[in-house]
Amino acid sequence: MSSRLTRNFFARPTLQVARELLGARLVHIEDTQRLAGWITETEAYIGEADLGCHARAGRTPRTQVMFGPPGHTYVYFTYGMHWCLNFVTEAEGFPAAVLIRAIQPCEGLAVIAARRAPQPPARWTDGPGKTCQALGLDRRHNGLDLCQPNAELFVEIGPPIPSENVTIGPRVGLNTVPEPWKSMPWRFKVYRYLTAEIAENAEQALITVENAENAE
What's 93's domain CATH number? Answer: 3.10.300.10
pTM for the full predicted model: 0.89
Q: Which of 79, 93, 70 is nearest to 14 (CA)?
A: 70
Is 169 a domain residue?
yes
pLDDT in tens, 146-205: 999 999 999 999 888 888 889 999 999 999 999 999 999 999 998 755 454 555 565 565
Handedness of CA 53, 56, 61, 63 (dihedral sign): positive
For the chain, how many structural domains are there in total? Answer: 1
pLDDT of residue 1: 44
| Angle, CA 142 vertex, CA 134 and CA 29 arms, to 5° | 45
175 lies in a domain? yes
- Is residue 123 assigned to a domain? yes
In a domain, 161, yes or no: yes
Q: Residue 2 domain-assigned?
A: no
The three-class DSSP label of residue 153 is strand
Domain that holds residue 197: 7-215
Listed residue (190, 203, 120, 141) closest to 161, CA to CA: 190
Query: Does any domain span residue 58?
Result: yes
Tell whether 96 is covered by a domain. Answer: yes
What would the mean pLDDT of 120-143 be, rounded to a whole number? 95
Residues 77-88: pLDDT tens digits?
987 789 999 999
What percent of the chain is predicted at pLDDT more than 90?
77
Question: Residue 80 has what pLDDT?
Answer: 73
**For position 191, what pLDDT does the model report?**
73
Span 84-115, pLDDT tens digits = 999 999 999 999 999 999 999 999 999 999 99
Residue 1 is assigned to a structural domain of this protein: no
Q: Tell me, what's the pLDDT at 132?
A: 98
